[in-house]
């Protein structure tokens, strides 16, 4: 079940999450309960999304809610959260683009557009 999935990820995965899941499995093998193993994970990590996931797993375990239902709900929430973060970043792009545009593109545009006019005016008044 779920422990086998965690074990598989801990064995094949890499990075901090795989190490943390490996530590949870070690805690479970040492005889700590699921709640204590997940509490240890919560104490060791500060990642908000992981904390939210572990808290949902813990509540599902306590209340007997099917794990598939919890995972579906969590995936939906994380998808929505990722979409909101992307929208927030997209909303900040115009502000970040304005400065390069003003400093790089507009002066070049003025030279291309106003350059010939300046030469004509100087020819007209210069003689």
Asked if 21 contacts 10 with a C-beta cutoff of 8 angstroms, the reply is: yes
Phi, psi (5° rounding) for residue 53?
Answer: -65, -45
Phi, psi (5° rounding) for residue 13?
Answer: -80, 170
Helices of type H across 13-66 = 16-29, 34-44, 48-63
Average confidence score pLDDT of the chain: 88
Asked if 44 contacts 20 with a C-beta cutoff of 8 angstroms, the reply is: yes
Q: How far is CA 47 from the centre of its chain?
A: 11
What is the maximal distance between C-alpha atoms in the chain? 98
The length of the chain in residues reads 127
Residue 127 is predicted with a pLDDT of 60
Asked if 7 contacts 25 with a C-beta cutoff of 8 angstroms, the reply is: yes
- Give, in order, the Cα–Cα distances in Å from 53 to each of 60, 85, 97: 11, 18, 36
42-85 residue pLDDT tens: 999 888 888 888 888 888 888 888 888 888 988 898 899 999 99
Per-residue pLDDT at 126 exceeds 80 = no
Q: What is the pTM of this model?
A: 0.61
């Amino acid at each position: 079940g779920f422990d086998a999935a965690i074990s598989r990820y801990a064995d094949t995965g890499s990075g901090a999450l795989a190490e943390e899941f490996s530590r949870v499995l070690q805690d479970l093998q040492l005889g700590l309960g699921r709640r204590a193993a997940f509490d240890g994970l919560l104490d060791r990590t500060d990642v908000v999304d992981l904390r939210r996931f572990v808290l949902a797993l813990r509540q599902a375990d306590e209340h007997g809610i099917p794990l598939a239902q919890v995972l579906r709900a969590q995936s939906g929430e994380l998808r929505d959260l990722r979409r909101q973060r992307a929208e927030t970043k997209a909303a900040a792009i115009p502000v970040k683009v304005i400065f390069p545009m003003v400093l790089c593109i507009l002066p070049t545009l003025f030279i291309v557009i106003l350059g010939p006019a300046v030469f004509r005016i100087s020819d007209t008044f210069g003689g």
